[in-house]
Amino acid sequence: MTRRLASLLRMLLLPIPLTLLFACGGGSGLTGPVPAKATKLRYENPTPTPGHFQLVVEAATNDTGHLLLDLMGPTGTVTQGVAFFVTTGKGATWGNPGGSDPHAKAGAELILGSPALFKSKVSAGDLQVGLFQTGAPPATLGATPILTLALDLGTSVNQGSVGLAVTAGKSSVYLDRANTKQSLILDLGTLTAQ
C-alpha cells in the first residue's frame, strides 16, 4: 500500500514544478519585444485655420533632437503682444531656442522697447510666454514669426506619440490695436518621438 501511495504522489506532484516552470516563462528563453528608443522628434504642422495662431516647425530642425517651433499669427491681425500657455508630455522638454530668454526667442513681428516686456517660464512641462511691444505702433502680423520656441528630445524615450497641448485652465490672449485683450486660439500640430 505504501508503494502505491508513493507512486500516486509522484504522479500528482511531478507536474506541479513543471507547470510552474513553464508558467513563469522558465525554460523558454523568450521575452517580449524591447521598445525601440527614440533618436529624434518629428512635428507635423497643424492645418491652418483662419483667425487662429499656430506653432509651425522650422523645417531644417524637424527629425532632429532639437526642434524649433515658430509662433505664427493670423496674417493681417493687428496686435501689441501675446501671452500663451503650452504643455508638453514626458518625451520632450522645453529647450533654449537661442535667444536671451531661456525658453523663447523674440521674432521680428513685435518691437521690444525699453523696458522689454518679454518673459518665459517653465514649470513641470508647462510653458508660459508673454511678449508685448512698448513704445511702438501696433504691429500687423504677416509671414514672420512672432517668437520661436524649442523642444528637446527627452532621455531614454521610447518611440511614439509625445503630448503637446494648450495648457488646461489657462487663457491665452493677444492685445489688439486698442490694447484690449482678445482670445488667442492656438493650433498645435502632432509631436512624435522617432
**Nearest-CA neighbor of 154 among 67, 52, 82?**
67
The CA distance from 80 to 174, in Å, is: 7
Q: pLDDT digits over 74-117, tens only?
A: 999 999 999 999 999 999 999 999 988 999 999 999 998 888 89
The predicted pLDDT at position 3 comes to 58
Whether the ω angle into residue 115 lies within 30 degrees of 0, i.e. cis, is yes
**Domain chopping of the chain, boundaries:** 41-193
The CA distance from 87 to 166, in Å, is: 6
Kindly report the pTM of this predicted structure: 0.82
How much is the mean pLDDT over the chain? 88
The CATH number of 41-193 is 2.60.40.680
Q: pLDDT digits over 139-178, tens only?
A: 999 999 999 999 999 999 999 999 999 999 999 999 999 9
- CA dihedral (103, 83, 112, 45) in degrees, to 10, reads 60
